[in-house]
Chains A and B, each alone.
Chain A
Amino acid sequence: MLLSEVVTSGPDFFYLAPWLVFFPVIGLLINIIFGGRFSEKVIGTVASTASGLTFVVAVLLALSLRAHHEGVTILLAEWIAIGELQLDWAFRVDTLSVTMMMVVGGVGTLIHIYAIGYMHEDVRFKNDPGRFRRFFVFLNLFIAAMMILVSGDNYLMLFVGWEGVGLCSFLLIGFWYEMDTLARASTDNAMAAKKAFITNRVGDFGFLIAGMIMFWAFKSVQFDTVFEAAHHIAELQPGIIIAITLFMLLGVAGKSAQIPLFVWLPDAMAGPTPVSALIHAATMVTAGVYLVARSAPLYMLVPQAQGIVAIVGGATALFAATIAVGQYDIKKVLAYSTISQLGFMVAAVGMGAFVAGMFHLVTHAFFKALLFLSAGSVILGVERGHHHGHHDHDDHGHGDHHDDEKSEVFDPGDMRNMGGMRKSMPVTFWLYIIGSLALAGIFPFAGFWSKDEILAEATALNFTVYILLAIAAFFTAFYMGRQIWMVFYGKPKHEAAEHAEESPPIITVPLMVLAALSILGGALNLPGVGTFTHWLEMTYEKFDLHLHHGEFNLTVAITSTVLALLAIGISWLIYGRKSVTFDQADPLKRILGPIFVGMENKWWIDELYWAVILNPYIAIAKFTADVIDWRFWHDWFHDKVIAGTFNWFSKTFLDSWIDQRGIDGFANGLAAGTKELAQRLSGIQTGFVRNYALSVFVGVVVILGYLILQ
């Protein structure tokens, strides 16, 4: 290769694509096999290195793409070849998938590093240091599954990754499966894990049906084949495309926690905080957004489905934002915030603003990971303060009993226990402020640019959705303001918050990197420059998709900034001067009354699901089990009809005729015959060796004679 070619085309690293999956798998195998002898630092280093290497690979792939705009497919192996179905295990490297790879690898690595510090303390608070290794094995498994999801070249491979991350999500939500979030013996965490898993199965069911229709209609699930044939099919039978896209939406609703399947995500906060950040904020839950963005050529053909997706996203954004206002748990607020922000992304990709949606996905990964991890740092700080307070009391030797009782109900994640922590945890405080401003969409933080792009696109594409999202943005700023005032300002409401200690650098340094990204992330796609737009267009150009290019809309930007500032101001008025404690009701309740009660109780969605779906379901299950299965099938049909008939038949006929005469007679006769034969034959065995040799010799002569005569 000439030097000039190297400069213009750049080096080509596409062959590295399979290592996106191999590196984390190698990492987890090392930890599984040898981890027992490793110290925590080595385990964490191995896992983080494996994750870091995937990021390096993702970056190299991105560099390689500069010369190959249209993307490259790397074939690893033939996977399934049955009749018409020809599927390869192939890695699709284009700008869309590489964007996801870089987010997964980059944010994933930072969270791995953070988790070394976090889990070190977490396993000690929960008295099981042996579980440290398991955590990192799961994390690496997650990275591997997520990489399969984003790099797959067909829907089935994507589905494998989709289920893989679902499994990791289940394993990690139930990581402390024998306790609840407050480390009391309970099945709460296990239930949360099951809830997430089963709710996702409902979505996956939709995704599977979409895949089956697709295979039935297109005879393929490979991306390019499907997208190329889609035009043709859409003209003949648009219903098929609508069915595929809407069933796919069900899958998206499950994985990306949209209405009506969002209920699992808040409960998923039972997992350790790095998990909440990595899986349930930054990466896995965005898989649905990626799926819609990846299937853009299908969605663009059916505006009806696009409208439904956008409305679902917008409604989720607003609905979840209102719930977030009424929550007291620091992570629950962020969980509902995540649902709300996912709503923004889904609405964006639903409207056809794929670039805006993906842009928000990237920036959200930065600041939401930052917020979750900072929240984890806050919780750890409070826990440290709590233990500190304990020791003080023990030293003084009084009030032990009373203190223990209190410690049983102490929740380090409840914001009503916090307050004034900006003094005790200054680094975390500033990191949290950065994350919150980015989330609230304040200029010039990353969230401002991406959220504004979505809003600007919405004014042009779907004004209803714009209204929903604008109100959601207002609530976003409000609940973040509420959280900041409750956690970091005012007076400490619990001695634990008073004694809270700052976290070590292994926790704060990854956060600083994320904070820097949250500040600067907007630079990816500044209005007028549009780096990210051009980057993603490389992928969409291939399918002749003429994407709508949202112009920067100053009115929209000013409106949303004013709304956000207004919301923060209102939150200061309500919460800034007065601390919320357990004893007194939330001040907002006095203003909003029953509406706030609704927010506080998550609009009784869980209760609704129990009443409408789960209780009837359980009743039907009990009915089928007790009445149909046990009484009818077991007691009557099986015991009386089948067993009764059989007993009668066997007693009257089988026993005497078949068994005693037929089978016994045969077996006994056989035995007697064998015995008789053996007694006669034993005469041949003379015991003389020469006699036996003679028999062999006779055989030789006879066989030779036979051969001659033949």
Chain B
Amino acid sequence: MLPVSYYVGLSAILFTIGALGVLIRRNAIIIFMSIELMLNAANLAFVAFARAHESLSGQIFVFFVITVAAAEVAVGLALIVAIFRNKQSIDVDQMSNLKG
């Protein structure tokens, strides 16, 4: 197979793009999707190491991450819907009532 570092490098690039998405975009839904991308990048690293070490634990972990992500999306989107109902917007910069 290819060296693990290739996959981990790709994973790092994807993760950074996800992080940038969180930092740059104002749309709450896109921020949320960026988080999913970061999770996915981490999963890729898990699977790559699982392959390298020939251990299933990495894949099991990915399985749990997917499950938790599903739960997170359900709650997160519910939050976004609730916020939209209040503010008529999903711009996270509008939600700055707590500024000092």
The answer for the CA separation of A140 and B92 in the assembled complex, in Å, is 76
Q: Which of B19-27, B41-49, B56-64, B67-75 contacts A (4 or more CB under 8 A)?
A: B19-27
* Number of A residues with CB within 8 Å of any CB on chain B: 13
A697 near B100 with CB under 8 A, answer: no
- In the complex the two chains form, is A685's CB within 8 Å of B19's CB? no
Q: Is the CB of A685 within 8 A of B99?
A: yes
Residues in chain A near residue B93, CB distance under 8 A: 688, 690
- Known contacts A694-B23, A697-B19, A697-B23: does B92 contact A689 (CB below 8 Å)? yes
A693-B98 CB under 8 A given contacts A688-B92, A688-B93: no
Q: How far is the CB of A637 from chain B (nearest CB, A)?
A: 59
Task: Check A684 for interface membership: any CB of B closer than 8 A.
Answer: yes
A686 neighbours in B (Cβ, 8 Å)? 96, 99-100
Nearest CB in chain A to that of B19: its residue: A697
Chain B residues with Cβ under 8 A from A688's Cβ?
A: 92-93, 96, 99
A683 to B100, CA, bound (A): 6
* A687 in the interface (beta carbon within 8 A): yes
| Known A690-B92, A690-B93: A685·B23 in contact at CB below 8 Å | no
- CB contacts under 8 Å to A, within B73-93, are 92-93
Complex Cα distance, B95 from A687, in Å, reads 7
Closest CB in chain B relative to A559 CB, distance in Å = 99
In the complex the two chains form, what is the Cα distance from A690 to B19 in whole Å?
A: 11
Contact B26 A690 (CB under 8 A): yes
B96's closest neighbor in chain A, by CB? A687
Q: A-facing mask of B3-35, CB < 8 A → 1, else 0?
A: 000000000000000010011101000010000
Q: Which residues of B contact A681 (CB under 8 A)?
A: 100
Q: Which residue on chain A has the smallest CB distance to residue B24?
A: A690
**Which of chain A's residues have a CB closer than 8 A to the CB of B31?**
690
A682 within 8 A of B: yes
What residues of A have a CB within 8 angstroms of the CB of B24 in the complex? 690
Considering only residues 670-700 of chain A, those with a C-beta below 8 Å from chain B are: 681-690, 693-694, 697
Partner of A690, one of B22, B97, B98, B100: B22
Q: Once bound together, how far apart are the Cα atoms of A683 and B99, in whole Å?
A: 8
- Residue pairs across A and B with Cβ atoms less than 8 A apart, 8 shown, are A685-B99, A685-B100, A687-B97, A687-B98, A687-B99, A688-B96, A690-B24, A690-B93
Given known contacts A685-B99, A685-B100, A686-B96, what 19 new A-B pairs fall within 8 Å (CB)?
Answer: A684-B100, A687-B95, A687-B96, A687-B97, A687-B99, A687-B100, A688-B93, A688-B96, A688-B99, A689-B92, A689-B95, A690-B22, A690-B24, A690-B26, A690-B93, A693-B22, A694-B23, A697-B19, A697-B23
Question: Which residues of B approach A to under 8 Å, CB–CB?
Answer: 19, 22-24, 26, 31, 92-93, 95-100
